[in-house]
Structure 1
Amino acid sequence: MKIVNDFFKYDYHDRGMVKWQGFYLSDHTAALNKQADAFNQKLQYKPQQSLEVITAILATAYSKQCEVTIQLNQLDRNHRNLPDITTLIHGYNANEIVIDVNKFVRIDDIRNVRYGSE
């Protein structure tokens, strides 16, 4: 038993994560890269629209009860923009719109809005 303990104490050097590198298959890595690309593409900045364009699209969507996809001018902790919000416009109040149940979004916080869930 002393020989085994001495071997692990003095002679054996663990290579850490290096020994696990061969376990990643190329198909698995390709799938992970594809998933990351799709996620990053979903979070890309859309062009900043003017206030007139944003309000016109929101007014039309509200009157026709069309779904819109909204990108906000807000970033998460990693400095990436938040996922788009796809919703109906349920109402408006001064400079805010109502989405979902009692959730308000300031029109000034909207970067881009488009019809549907494109």
Structure 2
Amino acid sequence: MSVDRSYLQSKAAREYQDRKMAKWMGFFLSEHTGSLKKDYNTGEAVYERQSPQEKMMLLSQAFTQKLEIRFTYIDSTKRTTFINGIIDVFDFDKVGVRVEGAYLFINMDDLIRIDYEE
């Protein structure tokens, strides 16, 4: 369906083609993405799990280089938790993290993702 704009003086205004829904896609995508990251039952953010291979690769790099990384994991109360720390113990079933002078052990099954600190 075309709109008659022949009465307008400006050629640009007469030949304007409305992009319809395309102009709203940026708004829709950000809102949609934000809502997808929420778990509607708990109201908590949902994070994509990294594959075991990806986790092992990132952990081994961080362990050998003594890098501080951010851990996203499920704690004993079944809530998503974040900590930043340096790996002191690295095993196939758990990771020992030094956090502010204390140690925390995280089971590999509870580990959701690992991100390098910037």
- Which structure 2 residues correspond to residues 82-97 of structure 1 after superposition, within 5 A? 82-97=80-95
Please give the root-mean-square deviation of Cα atoms over the aligned residues, in Å: 2.4
Deviations 1:46-93 (A, max 9, x none): 2111111011101100011111111113485xx7x4331111111223
Q: Tell me which stretches of 4 or more aligned residues in structure 1 moved more than 6 Å.
A: none
Structure 1: where are the runs of 5+ without partners?
1-39
Which residue identity does 1:69 align to in structure 2? R
Select the structure that is richer in strand.
Answer: 2
Higher relative CO (CA 8 A, sep ≥ 6), structure 1 or 2? 1
TM-score (norm 2): 0.52
Moved more, 97-106 or 57-66: 97-106
Q: Distance in 2 between matches of 1:45 and 1:86?
A: 19
Count of residues paired in the alignment: 73
Is the 1:75–1:82 Cα contact (8 Å) retained in structure 2? no
1:55 match: 56
The runs of 5 or more residues in structure 2 that have no matched partner are 1-37, 39-43
